[in-house]
Structure 1
Amino acid sequence: MPISFDATGFRQLDQFLWQHPSGDQAVLTYYNRVPDLPAGLGDLPKLRHDLALVHGETGCLVEAHVVQLDGVPALLRIIKMPLPDQPNGQAFVCSFTIPKANCSAVLQLAALERGMTGAREAVLAAEIGFQDWVMQHPYAPELQGVLPFHAGDHPQHDARFPDHPLSRVRAWAHHVVRTARVDPQFAALPPFQVQAPPPVEPGQTLVTAMPSLPVGDFIGLLAGERLTYWRTTDPKLKEMLGRGVMGRSPLADTRFRDILMIDLETGAAMVPDRFTTDGNMTAHSTRLEQVTMQEANAAVTDDDVMEAYKWAGRMAGVAAERGEFLALEPIEHEGEQQDPHVLLAVRLHEGQPHVVAQFSPPPSDGPLAGSPSRSAPASPETLEGIGVLAGLAVNEWRTHPLHLAVTYRRQAD
């Protein structure tokens, strides 16, 4: 494992998951891809600012620091978010991220409010005064997030409320900093660095395009009303698709899709990062090769199509981590949600995450006939499985997977 820590008091559920008697869960995840951080650890002001914007969409970034785990630089962040599908209560997540050039390791603890919620906030708000309670976010003063940055989350109050989930994740963070060990081979990997945006070559005309579901080495791009088909030439685009890190285009007030910039004549493309600081954009360059629909269809295998739907299921899990769910729908669908579509989400049911697929309209044939939805306890296997079920529903639309798009919506919507 890239990171190990003193798990005294936790019960290990599997190789990468631990549970505390309080219900708090620690999980270790290894990502075999370029980290999606908006800045390097050496640029803490930009990192804090952009992460505040990211987490402000679904909750609030409470704090972020660069710390040393066993002598290796790591990003420590604590976030809070509303409990999904519940009228009250919050979840607090503390995570350590060690980013490397082409991979990363993340150790995190999630703690949920249970029973009576809001006691810490009620007591402290009365003492501090409601006029001084909500504060400007220290990392992004312009931010108006889903949850406010307020005085009650300051660590000086943790000792009075040791059982509060925020106090618990902070105490765990201090313990991890003291006890964590990092695998020497992982520690020796090249560090993560954000690349500067590539210059636009003379004569290039870049237009905005929305990508389809990636299938094998192929992707569809919708630019205006024109749908074209492309072969990817490197993994960069597929590494960023569906993960919430690319630039976005709003379809409606609550619906968004990934976008990229491409020269339709040469295939030169730029994949913009989602957030900017002071107007400065970072982006990643790639090149695509244009093909016909017939060429793409002839090269795509049944296994490629199956993997595309499994990918959509996995991306539903990634979306849930940032407080969103996703829809699979024909790429030409814009504006508000319309049929046909499949919604893929991870929701809490009796305190446990479940993956859910909702079909609209319900399939009329096959194993899903008449079913408006399917669900199962969330796991890597069921996430992929729910994506396969989405593919079964899509088959009735007679829509090629390269004509499908992934659209995001926030859980609060």
Structure 2
Amino acid sequence: MPISFDTTGFRQLGQHTWQHASGDQAELTYYNLVPDLPAGLDDLPKLRHDLALIHGESGCLIEAHVVQLAGVPALLRIVKMPLPNQPNGQMFLCSFTVPKANCSAVLQLGAVERGTTGLREAMLMAEIGFDQWVKPHPYAPELQGVLPFHAGDDPRHDSRFPDHPLSRVRAWAHHVVRTARLDPQFASLPPFQVQAPPPVAPGQTLVTALPSLPVKDFVGLQIGEQTTYWRMTDPKLKEMLGRGLMGRSPLAETRFRDMLMIDVESGEAMIPDRFTTNGNMTAHGTHLVQVTLPEADAQLSDDDVKEAFAWAGRMAAVAAERGEYLSLEPVENQGEQANPHVLLAVQQHEGQPVVIAQFSPPPTEGPLAGSPSRSAPATPESVEGIGLIAGMAVNEWRSHPLRMAITYRRPAG
């Protein structure tokens, strides 16, 4: 494992998951991808600002720091989120991300409020006063997030409420910083660095393009009413697609799609970051080569197509962390939701995460015939599996996967 930590008090549930006697659950994940951090660890103000905006969509970033794990820089985050499908209560997540140039490892602990919730906040609000309770976010003062940044989350109060989940994850964080170890081979990998985007060349004309599902090295781009097809020459676009990091084009009030800017003649493209820092937009450069759909299709195998739909399932899990879900639909579908489409979501059901695919219209052929939806307990395998099931429904539409796109959906309100 890239990261090892003191498991005293934990029992192992799976190869990379542990549960503490308190009920808190730890998980270790390795990502064989360029990290999707919005900034490098050497630019902490931008990193904090952009992470505050990202986490503000589903909760609130309480704090973020660059720490050392066994002498290697790591990002420490503590985040709070409302408990899904419950009228009150919160979940607190503490994570350590060790980013490398082409991969990363994340160690995370989740702690949930149980029983009577909000006691810490109620007691402290009575002492501090309502007028002094909610504060501008220190990393992004303009932010109006799902949960407020307030005085009750200050670490000075942890000693009075040692059993509160926020106090527990902070205590665990301090212990991990002191005791965690890194695999020497992983620790020696080149560090993560954000590449500066190249300037727009004179004479370039950039137009907005909405990307399709990426399949192997290919992607469709909806430019106006026309769909064109392109080969990606580097991994940057595929690394950012579907993760909520790119600039967005609104399709309707609660529907959004990734967008980029491309010069169709040269294939030079700019991938804008979704969030600005101090009002300044940043972007990443990439180069695409235009192809025809038959040329792309000739280089795709069945396994490439399966991996594309498994990727869509994984992106549904990533979206759930932002309080969103996905619609898998034809790339030309714009405006309000229309058939055909598959909704992919990870939601809480009776305290456990469940992955769901809802088909509209229900398939009429094959093993899914007549089924309006499929669901399963959320695991890494079932998250990918639900994407594959969505691909089975898409197959009935006789639509090429490069003509499909994922659209972000936010629950109304």
1 CA distance for matches of 2:64 and 2:102?
A: 22
Question: 1:267-346 counterparts in 2 under 5 A?
Answer: 267-346=267-346
Is residue 343–residue 359 contact of structure 2 (8 Å, CA) maintained in 1?
yes
What residue is the counterpart of 2:406 in the other structure?
A: 406
- For residues 168-183 of structure 1, the aligned pairs below 5 Å read 168-183=168-183
Partner of 2:156: 156
Identify the residue that residue 381 of structure 2 maps to in structure 1.
381
Question: Would you identify which runs of 4 or more consecutive aligned residues in structure 1 move more than 3 Å?
Answer: 410-413
Corresponding residue number in structure 1 for 2:264: 264
- Residue 281 of structure 1 aligns to a residue in which SS? coil
2:273 aligned with 1:234, yes or no? no
Where 1:13 maps in the other structure, the secondary structure is strand
**TM-score, normalised relative to structure 2:** 0.96
Instruction: Give, as a single letter, the amino acid of the residue that structure 2 aligns with 1:173.
Output: A
Work out whether 1:348 is the aligned partner of 2:372: no
Structure 1 residue aligned with 2:57? 57
Shifted more, 263-272 versus 136-145: the winner is 263-272
Q: CA deviation at 1:280?
A: 2.6
Deviates more, 1:249-258 or 1:45-54: 249-258
CA-to-aligned-CA distance 1:363-382 (integer Å, 9 cap, x gap)? 12221122111111111211
Amino acid across the alignment from 2:299? A
Structure 1 segment 233-252 matched on structure 2, within 5 A: 233-252=233-252
Q: Which residue does the alignment assign to 1:4?
A: 4
Native 8 Å contact 1:84 1:411 kept in 2: no
The question of whether the paired residues in 1 share the 8 Å contact of 2:254 and 2:412 is answered with: no
Letter paired with 2:14: D
Alignment-mate amino acid for residue 394 of structure 1? V
1:410, 1:110 → 2: CA distance? 24
Aligned residue pair count? 413
SS of equivalent to 1:134:
coil
SS in 2 for 1:202: coil
Matched, 1:186 2:186: yes
User: Which amino acid counterpart does residue 219 of structure 1 have in structure 2?
Assistant: V
Structure 1 residue identity aligned to 2:263: D
Contact 1:57 1:145 in 2 (8 A): yes
Task: Output the amino acid matched with 1:170.
Answer: R
- Work out whether 1:112 is the aligned partner of 2:112: yes
Following the alignment from structure 2 to structure 1, what is the Cα–Cα distance between the partners of residues 338 and 301?
29
Q: CA deviation at 1:317?
A: 1.6
Deviations 1:316-347 (A, max 9, x none): 12222232211101112222222221111111
8 Å CA contact retained: 2:36, 2:239: no
Partner of 2:74: helix, strand, or coil?
strand
Deviations 1:54-113 (A, max 9, x none): 111111000111111111111111011111122211111001111111111111101111
Match of 2:43 in 1: 43
What secondary structure sits across from 1:95 in the alignment?
A: strand
- How far apart are 1:306 and its partner, in Å? 1.6
The amino acid across from 1:372 in the alignment is P
Q: CA deviation at 1:401?
A: 1.3
Is residue 127 from structure 1 mapped to residue 91 from structure 2 by the alignment?
Answer: no
Structure 1 gap ranges (5+): none
Shift of 1:411: 5.5
* Worse overlay, 273-282 or 176-185: 273-282
Q: In structure 2, list runs of 5 or more residues that go unmatched.
A: none
Using the alignment, how far apart are the partners of 2:97 and 2:410 within structure 1? 24
Q: CA RMSD in A?
A: 1.4
Which letter maps to 1:42? D
Kindly state the Cα deviation for residue 174 of structure 1 after the two structures are TM-superposed.
0.8
Match of 1:393 in 2: 393
- In 2, the alpha carbon distance for the partners of 1:46 and 1:217 equals 31
Secondary structure, aligned partner of 1:385: helix
For residue 241 of structure 2, what is the amino acid of its counterpart? Answer: L
Alignment of 1:23-38 (within 5 A): 23-38=23-38
